[in-house]
Amino acid sequence: MKPSPSHPAFRLLAACVAAVCSWPAGAAEQPVAAELPLERVVLFTSGVGFFQHGGKVKGDATVEMSFRSAAINDLLKSMVVEDLGGGTVPAVSYASRDPITKTLGTFAIDLTDEPSLGRILGQLRGERIEVEAAPPATGTIVGVEKRTVPVGDDKTAEKEYVTILTADGLRTLALDAITRLKLLDERLQKELEQALAVLALGHDSEKKSVTLAFAGEGERAVRVGYVQESPVWKTSYRLVLGDAAKENAGRALLQGWAIVENTTDRDWKDVRMALVSGRPISFVMDLYQPLYLPRPVVKPELLASLGPQVYGQDMDARAEEFAAKGRSGKPDRDGRRMMAARAAPAVAMAMDSEVMPQAEAVEQGEMLDGAAAIRSVAAGEALGELFRYEIAQPVTIARQRSAMLPIVAERVEAEKVSVYDDRVMPKHPLAGVRLVNSTTLDLMQGPITVFDAGAYAGDARIEDLPAGSSRLLTYAVDLDVEVAPRVEPRPEQIVSVRLVKGTLVASRKLARRKVFEIKNSGAEPVRLLVEHPLEPGWKLVEPEKPAEQTRDRFRFAVTAEPGKPATLAVVEEQLVSLQLALTDLDDGAILFYSNAKVTPPAVKQALADVVQRKREIEGLVQERARREQEVQVVGQEQERIRQNMAQLDRTSDLYTRYVQKFAAQEDRVETLRKEIADLQGKEQRARRGLDEMLGTLSLE
């Protein structure tokens, strides 16, 4: 079977070669292998974790580490290696990801296509071998051939034969008759063994080895850190409400737990741990896969050879080169120095103390009451947009195991309330609590299990809660309290009317009133927070101001006594401005605004004048329409007369009468057309006068 292009065998072989080649020339002794235990883990809510190993090495030493194949890209992107004792880090070698076919092709015996024994021997033509057959033979391979031989009755089969040159001459042997074959060239024997080793090692593609080389003298501390993909750590809380009849009324026990999962292949034993909230930018880049660019194949031209050519240097470039020598070691215009490259420093990269914080001692808080009390082992520290819980005690989590780590265990302020929102539940409010984060820690978002009166009361959820801020939590339906909302319609009112250049601008006040009737059937008074939508444009009139206001909700506080109905009325108003062109309004609409109580007398007079002018124009339009209608009727009558006259004798009395009538109608049509033209002129003058009046009409 043809090996996969992603076969990992060559990476392991290359790791071995790189590890050998990375040692300084002249090293007299094999470096001593050392171990670097995991000492610190920092987990982020962005799905990555920072892992730090530390320990001691002596002299020239190597550290062998093993990682999953999927983690190598993150390792190559983020690994930081420090030799804290003045030593150097010559190299970090790792198994290459070159395709195994490319690796196998580098050996003298190519095993890429899973060749048969005959094909292998064909590659070894001219090499000496020793075979066990009947009888044994030693000689040089001449070639391999296939022959068709009879097998049973009327059947044939192909068999492979190898021909070798022995001391006694050429000898042909069937391959299936050879029981043992040995290459007499030790170099080829080792090549074959190495190629087979590559195939064998390539079967395990899950784990990859990384070798770190440290060069120095004496015993000294070293450190290795890297970022890898990790599960997002989560938080969950427990809120134990206090008894209203005792001293701890208004206080509650808050326990916070961080859920951490060790999905790595090594145990976390006594590691220092930090948990960081926030969203640092992190990405994956494929740095592990070798990249090869295709190169064009150029065939040499079969031309006569030319002698080597020598070309002079460009004079401008020579002048620049000369000037650069004068600036050597001096700052250039960008403030940088032009200096020769120096050897790499002993420390590849300094550890960022903010990224890899040292362990911090945390003062133990007071022991809390009850069997559920725990000690908080986390200390909070602000990191700008991030927040970090520094776990004070060493943490031990076995591989492929998870753990809950206490991060909060303090008394906090908590007030029992009920929250009503008719969008959530129209009949009953939700029982809840106002939680004040009186700790010094920011609380990560997560679920909260609420216990009341020593029993489970329900579940709630909070978003990120900074220290000193408060949030409402609801965890159950308050069946003791019933709310009946109703909407009472309110008529709209005109509050102002004015004229602006022929446009009527009217301001109208819209009002709405919503009443909440509250009944408490319980034994204790209930502080109820009624949520009401906050809509742009609407102004709260009653109550004067809400108890609280969020981005999109008002909250009104009402105390509901047992057996005593409580009422909350919410009144809101909105001003709406309408702009109406007077020329587009009919008389009824104009009179409606003119008769409004808030319309000023001057505006009323102006509107009356507009109505009068519009009526005059309408009268002219009607008069012109009547005359145009009469012209149309006369025209129809004349058409009838023409048809009748065509049927009569021109000397008849009826024909004469038709002629006289036709003449009279023509006189009337001429008169009507003059009147229509006169009315059109009057109408145009009246409209122009109205437009001129409206163009300058502005009254408050």
Average model confidence (pLDDT) across the chain = 78
Range of weakest confidence among 171-180, 359-368, 524-533: 359-368
> What is residue 615's three-state secondary structure?
helix
Integer Cα distance of 404 and 256 in angstroms:
10
> b/e map of 514-542 (b: 16 or more CB within 10 Å)?
bebebebeeeeebebbbbbebeeeeebee
Beta strands in 7-155 (DSSP E): 32-34, 38-44, 48-58, 61-68, 80-83, 88-94, 128-132, 137-150
Q: Pick the residue with more confidence: 509 or 32? A: 509
Query: What is the pTM assigned to this prediction?
Result: 0.57
The one-character DSSP state at 552 is S
Q: Which helix (H) or strand (E) holds 159?
A: strand 156-166
Pairing of strands 446-452, 234-241: parallel
Integer Cα distance of 657 and 620 in angstroms:
36
C-alpha dist (Å) from residue 178 to 109, 126, 160, 162, 172: 20, 19, 11, 10, 11
Q: Domain spans of the chain?
A: 9-41+50-116+186-229, 128-184, 234-281+362-478, 482-587, 600-699
Integer Cα distance of 276 and 396 in angstroms:
18
Q: pLDDT tens-digit profile of 51-69?
A: 999 999 999 998 888 888 7
Integer Cα distance of 521 and 563 in angstroms:
6
Q: pLDDT tens-digit profile of 479-499?
A: 999 999 999 888 888 888 888
Reply yes or no on whether the pLDDT at 122 is more than 90.
no
Q: pLDDT tens-digit profile of 376-427?
A: 556 655 444 467 888 888 999 999 999 988 888 889 888 899 999 988 888 9
Please, are residues 506 and 598 in contact by the beta-carbon 8 Å criterion? no
